[in-house]
Amino acid sequence: MDAPFSVTFLGTAAALFIPPANTAALLVRVGTDRLLVDCGVGAVRQLRQAGSAVQALTAVLLTHWHPDHVAGLPNLLWHAAKERTGAPLRLYAPPAPRWARWWLRVVVGGRPAVEHVLARSRDTLSFEHVRVAAVHADHSIPALSWVLAEAGATQRRLVVSGDTRPTSALASAAHGADLLVHEATYLARHHSLATARQHTTALQAAQVARAARVGMLALTHLGMGAPRDAVLAEARSVFERVVVPRDLDRLDVGLLGGTRCG
């Protein structure tokens, strides 16, 4: 039997959001590995709501350092220092700005809370059940997309776009993936704004999914001007296998026809 491979959407909103939605964070479970991708508003609380905890995390992957993707990091650092034993929690991320480097120096009980490991495009990481690769993302600050591939025989793949304009690098990395989690900050009618701010529209994300022939597309990072129903309708005009998860929804990766969200 295949090992569990799932994604729980801890936060699905963009920087300008309406509560109770939280900002960007995903919990990826692959076998016994637990990876947190981004750490937005409420991430630690949402992690607990999803039945996990900071001490259970294998590592943290950040796509970039914009506040809506890292606002939950101070709380995570505190819990990591208080609740974990042994080596610090590893945080793989692009180069940190000065204010973030101050956060990362937090020491509680005489030891650092996390170890920041610099991540760049084309870097690869290996954990017990999953292999991870970093892909260049086209955003307003240094940013990465992440490809997570199961280490087992089935080699199911998940791709997380982070914040980015559509790129050939991401489309290539996502080719044939079981699940593409892609930002959809804007609707197509705001195409020029999306381009200027280096984001993606729901229509563009669906076009990437279609070109890459992915198994399933999940749209997230929704802005205030992109309501769920409109995002879903726009994406389905070009790609049928698409969902728009709510906070704490879960997708099991690679179960086409039986992929569930909820």
- Sign of the four-CA dihedral 83, 252, 228, 140: positive
Domain extent listing, the chain: 5-252
One-letter amino acid for residue 94 of the chain? P
pLDDT tens, per residue, the chain with 262 residues: 567 999 999 999 998 766 778 999 999 999 999 999 999 999 999 999 999 999 999 999 999 999 999 999 999 998 988 888 778 899 999 999 998 888 787 766 667 778 899 999 999 999 999 999 999 999 999 999 999 999 977 889 999 999 999 999 999 999 999 999 999 999 999 999 999 999 999 999 999 999 999 999 999 999 988 899 999 999 999 999 999 999 999 999 986 533 444 4
Task: Please give the Cα distance from 78 to 68 (Å, whole number).
Answer: 19
Q: Look up residue 76 and give its two tokens.
A: 């995570």
In this prediction, residue 17 carries a pLDDT of 66
In this prediction, residue 225 carries a pLDDT of 82
pTM of the model: 0.94
Q: What fold characterizes domain 5-252?
A: Metallo-beta-lactamase; Chain A (3.60.15)
Residue 9 and residue 220 in contact, taking contact as beta carbons nearer than 8 Å: yes
In this prediction, residue 258 carries a pLDDT of 37
Task: Please give the Cα distance from 47 to 195 (Å, whole number).
Answer: 32
Nearest to 15 by CA among 4, 7, 23: 23
In this prediction, residue 18 carries a pLDDT of 66
Q: What is the CA radius of gyration of the chain?
A: 17
Q: Look up residue 257 and give its two tokens.
A: 């026809």
48-54 contacts, C-beta under 8 A, 24 or more apart: 49/248, 50/8, 50/10, 50/248, 50/250, 52/27, 53/79, 53/83, 54/79, 54/80, 54/83, 54/84, 54/89
